[in-house]
Amino acid sequence: MQRLEIPERILRRLRSAKQVSVLTGAGVSAESGIPTFRGADGIWEKYDYRKLATPQGFEDDPRLVWEWYRLRQIEIGKARPNRAHEVIAEMERHYPSFSVLTQNIDGMHRRAGSRNVVELHGNIWRMRCDRDHTVIDLDAPVKDIPPLCQCGSIMRPDVVWFGEQMPLRETEEASRAARESEVILVVGTSAVVYPAAALPILTRNSGGSVIEINLEPTDITSYADLSLFGLAGEIMPALWRSIR
């Protein structure tokens, strides 16, 4: 069982906090077997994001994009939430106000029992039509490719692609939560994709503490109050044990 070195000042803050946020990235789902984006085995090492995760790529070849999203839906559908997701869900039941701000589209936080989840980059289990604004929730990987809307247009995955804006309501909600939180835990993100990566700066600028959990240093490390390096599935349970 892992023991963490956590300064008393930070433990006190974690114990007395009324409002806490967690910002998560692909690293929180890595131990569920869902690959991250960057690094040696990352998705963007193997696949061309321009073809698969941009509006232009979708316009050029919607079938290719959907084939890839279907593969990811199959992979994610088989995965199970891990200890990090579970601890985050448990924390929500403990703190009076708790928000999960996630860049992940895999829906794992809700599956683990988190309720107040703000999905900044959409959800792979949803598709939408940009012509008549139909939104469809999926409970299984898409069958017909490309899926068509009742209006005849091709539907798209309801996710944020490169060059697209984050959804307005989610962005506002996440910014407010980050500003108001006394502590933000930043778990498993390389923190290179903005504006999500700027959320911990909002917490810091309003006097809150930033605690980072990652395998390695990131841009957050330079201003974090505490960085804990290791597997999220080990650090998060250890951190939670130290707080309670």
Collapsed DSSP state (helix, strand, coil) of residue 121: coil
Residue nearest to ligand OAD (CB): 27
Nearest approach, Cβ of 86 to ligand OAD (angstroms)?
14
Report the b/e string of 69-102 with b at 16+ CB within 10 A: bbebbebbeeeebbbbbbbbbbbbeebeebbbbb
Select 56 or 150, whichever has its Cβ closest to ligand OAD. 56
Per CB under 6 A, residues contacting ligand OAD are: 25-27, 30-31, 36-38, 42, 53, 103, 121, 160, 188-190, 193, 213-216, 218, 231-232
Cα 207 versus chain centre, distance: 24
Select 132 or 223, whichever has its Cβ closest to ligand OAD. 223
Q: Among this protein's residues, is 133 annotated catalytic? A: no
CA distances from residue 148 to 18, 62, 132, 244 in whole angstroms, order as listed: 46, 11, 12, 50
Nearest approach, Cβ of 33 to ligand OAD (angstroms)?
11
Select 19 or 64, whichever has its Cβ closest to ligand OAD. 64
Both tokens assigned to 44:
């963007």
- State the residue for tokens 């959990």: 213
Select 112 or 231, whichever has its Cβ closest to ligand OAD. 231
Nearest approach, Cβ of 92 to ligand OAD (angstroms)?
20
Nearest approach, Cβ of 151 to ligand OAD (angstroms)?
26
CB 228 within 8 A of CB 4: yes
Select 59 or 132, whichever has its Cβ closest to ligand OAD. 59
Nearest approach, Cβ of 231 to ligand OAD (angstroms)?
4
Select 7 or 33, whichever has its Cβ closest to ligand OAD. 33
Separation of alpha carbons 175 and 168, rounded Å = 11
Separation of alpha carbons 2 and 13, rounded Å = 21
User: Given 85, 94, 109, 121, which residue is catalytic?
Assistant: 121
Both tokens assigned to 108:
């794992």
CA distances from residue 34 to 30, 78, 214 in whole angstroms, order as listed: 5, 10, 16
Q: Please, what sign has the CA dihedral across residues 159, 81, 118, 181?
A: negative
Nearest approach, Cβ of 47 to ligand OAD (angstroms)?
11
Catalytic center residues: 121
